[in-house]
């Protein structure tokens, strides 16, 4: 059976689908990494304490470390939000690519089914002709 006219489009859409899938996987991985980083940052902050006695320098140093940890948490929260946004975009891109691929795959299957139906009709016609020719020979 010859190739479908949709076959090149199906291959192109499949490549696009694979690319979108890889991008979605990367976005999922980035979100997981950012969430883990945020979780670790919160855990580190929970372990920090201000000194109850000692010099002012120690107190200032501890305060600075806590402040830096808060900044790290804020940065991690922003990174999680960006990763969630990217993941949403990649999920939508993947859905669109999947729909395009499925549409052209469906059209390819429909074309092949129509071709197969046509070939079967031709085969039946040829078998009828052969049967008619054989019948006429037997009469002679």
Q: Is the pLDDT at 117 greater than 90, yes or no?
A: yes
Return the closest-CA partner of residue 73 out of 43, 49, 32, 51.
43
Q: Is the pLDDT at 137 greater than 80, yes or no?
A: no
Residues 6+ apart with CB under 8 A from 73: 38, 41, 42, 45
Q: pLDDT tens digit string along 59-113?
A: 899 899 999 999 999 999 999 999 999 999 999 999 999 999 999 999 999 999 9
Return the closest-CA partner of residue 75 out of 124, 41, 30, 117.
41
Q: Is the pLDDT at 133 greater than 90, yes or no?
A: no
> What pLDDT band is residue 31 in, cutting at 50, 70 and 90?
very high
Instruction: Give residue limits of the domains in the chain.
Output: 7-104
pLDDT score recorded for residue 134: 82
Q: Is the pLDDT at 138 greater than 80, yes or no?
A: no
| Full-model pTM | 0.75
Give the DSSP per-residue string, 50-89: --SSS-HHHHHHHHHHHHHHHHHHHHHHHHHHHHHHHHHH
Q: Is the pLDDT at 49 greater than 90, yes or no?
A: no
């Amino acid at each position: 059976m010859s190739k479908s006219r949709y076959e090149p489009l199906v291959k192109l859409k499949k490549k696009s689908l694979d690319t979108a899938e890889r991008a979605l996987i990367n976005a999922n991985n980035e979100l997981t990494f950012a969430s883990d980083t945020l979780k670790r940052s919160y855990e580190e902050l929970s372990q920090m304490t201000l000194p109850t006695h000692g010099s002012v320098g120690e107190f200032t140093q501890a305060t600075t470390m806590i402040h830096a940890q808060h900044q790290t948490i804020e940065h991690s929260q922003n990174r999680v939000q960006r990763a969630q946004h990217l993941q949403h975009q990649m999920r939508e891109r993947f859905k669109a690519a999947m729909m395009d691929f499925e549409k052209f795959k469906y059209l390819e299957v429909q074309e092949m089914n129509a071709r197969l139906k046509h070939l079967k009709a031709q085969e039946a016609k040829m078998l009828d002709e052969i049967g008619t020719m054989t019948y006429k020979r037997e009469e002679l």
